[in-house]
Structure 1
């Protein structure tokens, strides 16, 4: 009953949001943003998690049809270092976590459409096959009296891990993350860049100093060992960070880092290379909402 009601609510939300998205498009908001982007006011920095194939492919095609130019992570660093000019109509596509379905729904599409995509992977999930929050969600679905995912994101990491140990003794889930073979295969494509997203996806600001440092360091070194490539970009889990995390990234020779702050990537924002913003395109949304989210229109009115 819990799962059925959840599906009904998501369906209603998708329909309602689609109507709002169509209204925003009819009022010309995305068109205004497009004009500003194409004249070089800012770059659209966009990220996904676990999109369906149709959604990711739609986004890529819409951006291309509207004359946006796809940028790689290397391009972003070159722009920051003023090695290449700030682009007109630039767009950056990134994906967080490294879900198994990314192989077909993102990686294959990126290769087919010939667009660069950076995937920030959680190395512990690549090894174990799973992330921590689906365990919590399933436990809640079984009406077990555990905190919600959002509640666990707000407590000290050591306490979160203690709760997870109990949950994992009671709950099992199927493999959800890319495995090492899939990751190696993806990294061989010139369109796919693999970068770091911590070892275990904790909320870094809830970690003790050494723990936070090791979460970042281990993910970088593990990817470099697996794929024999340099790893120099990072995405903060849940978008949470502090000056401490920025200092750790500098110590570990990262060149850039991404938040989940939903604002435009302007020339001025490049001065904060470890705090680059991104607009999120969530799963289970309509084409209209996706357009509004990619262009940052949706975030002006809604969270």
Structure 2
């Protein structure tokens, strides 16, 4: 019932124009406003093939097309460079402010999101998992999704999940739920064990490695696309090299993974790479040692997926972000709550 009431309020405030008006009237003087860093992953359309995990992971183009002009009308949209400069200098934000970010480096960030951003002259930052760029590779969570979509099996037994009970995967909904459950379980174990259990799952699904790494099904950006966007208002940051849960990797290996990503980006783009976002983004996915290391090797910010706002009191090395929800009336309502 509470959700229905909330949704009705959000719809009414959005379509009446009140949510935008309330944000603008809530603006504070002397740089005391907050900044929200929105996080997206994939942008999908009706031709995309995926197991829908919600708008933070799979955000539909039709919603994105509506959101960008709304965000531009209602908020000050700044690049991550500007966000970090204003926090570090103590200048703050003279208006309620938004930054737009994407994690991982998906091809659809170029084919679907970039034309919208470019048309509206809106800056954004894409955090790249560099070992996957220009390859047919996929993040390990996407490998789970591809394997489940490809399998002909109607059920599966995974000893590491649900006490080895047989799990039905005959419907898209069952495959989506299992994809989420497996990823959640594997994020909690050492990375070496995670890799072994993935192979175990792929064998149980009877899906070959060449299907998971199908070069005709490229999911990630290539370097030409990255360079084109970098020349046209898109900032690039590091999202690690191999996209592990960094706290599940030995410290020296995690540091090397972060460093390698920064080096690859700087070599490819010929410019300093100032921003890092760690994979998955929870408190338990990172450490103070890794945060200090990011500062030591020259990053000026570290972004999490700890939800919340940022201001002059925030540390640039522990920036909060907020998942991009949809449809637009939901996004406008949720953003309004943070600013009003």
Whether 2:220 is the aligned partner of 1:177: answer yes
Q: Contact between 2:91 and 2:312, CA under 8 Å: does it hold in 1?
A: no
Q: How much does 1:246 deviate?
A: 0.5
Q: Which residue of 1 aligns with 2:198?
A: 164
Structure 2, unmatched stretches of 5+, are 44-59, 162-181
- Per-residue CA shift, 1:107-134, capped at 9, x if unaligned? 2211111011011011122143322112
Q: Quickly say closer, same or farther: Cα 1:234–1:138, change in 2 above 3 A.
A: same
For 1:88 and 1:206, how far apart are their aligned partners in 2? 39
CA RMSD of aligned residues (A): 2.8
**Corresponding residue pairs, total:** 278
Distance in 2, matches of 1:32 and 1:89, equals 11
Residue segments in structure 1 that go unaligned for 5+ positions in a row:
1-15, 298-303
In structure 2, how many angstroms separate the alpha carbons of the residues matched to 1:186 and 1:156? 35
Residue matched to 2:70: 62
Give yes or no for contact 2:308–2:322 (8 Å, CA) kept in 1.
yes
Once residues 4 and 114 of structure 2 are traced to their aligned partners in structure 1, the CA distance between those partners, rounded to angstroms, is 27
Deviation of 1:296 (Å): 5.2
Other-structure match for 2:46: none
In structure 2, what is the equivalent of residue 13 of structure 1?
none
**Partners of 2:275 and 2:69 in 1: CA distance:** 26
Corresponding position of 2:105: 98
Superposed, 1:222-237 pairs within 5 Å as 222-237=264-279
Query: Which secondary structure state, in structure 1, belongs to the residue aligned with residue 237 of structure 2?
Result: strand
Q: How does 1:256-267 map to 2 (within 5 A)?
A: 256-267=301-312
CA contact (8 A) 1:123 1:199 kept: yes
Partners in 2 of 1:264 and 1:203 — Cα distance?
Answer: 24
- Deviation, structure 1 residue 185: 1.6
Show the counterpart of 1:111. 118
| Mapped pair 1:199 → 2:206 | no
Change (3 A) 1:82 1:154: same
Q: Quick one: structure 1 residues 277 and 85, their matched pair in 2 at CA, closer, same or farther if it must change by over 3 Å?
A: closer
